[in-house]
Structure 1
Amino acid sequence: MFGERHDLPHEFPEHAELITRLHEENAEFAALMDEYTALDAEILKIEQEGTPITDEHAEELKFKRVSLKDKLYAMLQSHAG
């Protein structure tokens, strides 16, 4: 939705503890999560401030966020017990 955060614990509340653990213990997960979090914050700022941006660029940012989220979710699934 427009103007909402999409942080991982909000997106996957059932994996909140695993997200925290992997962020602390898995460098690859941490790097992807940090990139995802920064991108989510950038998108939120653009939406809230009404920053002029082309639709194409906005879609690129959102596609990248979804791609990162998919990678992170796959990692969560592979570590869920």
Structure 2
Amino acid sequence: MPNTPHQLAEEFPDKIDRMHDLKESNAHFRKLFDEYHEVNRAVHRAETNVEPTDDAHETALRKQRMTLKDQIAAML
């Protein structure tokens, strides 16, 4: 989904090169990166009612996204 908000390139525009390097060299970062995007897409689908869900599940997805983003930020 090209218009999905909260893409990591938008969240960390000054770290795009670093993210690319880490994706290539660090399996743990690559796993976090991929998981972040998977969860972010799920949040976007829930918010836009493409895949409606209850509030508790949507909140849990947002918290998971935030935790992943914090872990990614710490590695950057």
Range into which the TM-score falls when normalised by the shorter chain: 0.7 to 0.9
Aligned ranges 1:1-81 → 2 under 5 Å: 4-76=4-76
CA distance in 1, matches of 2:5, 2:52: 19
Unaligned runs of 5+ in 1: 77-81
TM-score (normalised: structure 2): 0.87
Identity between Structure 1 and Structure 2 (%) = 35
Deviation at 1:4, TM superposition (A): 4.5
Q: Which has the larger radius of gyration?
A: 1
TM-score (normalised: structure 1): 0.82
- Are the equivalent residues in 1 in contact too, given 2:4–2:44 (CA < 8 A)? yes
Q: Which runs of 4+ in 1 moved over 6 A?
A: none
The total of aligned residue pairs comes to 74
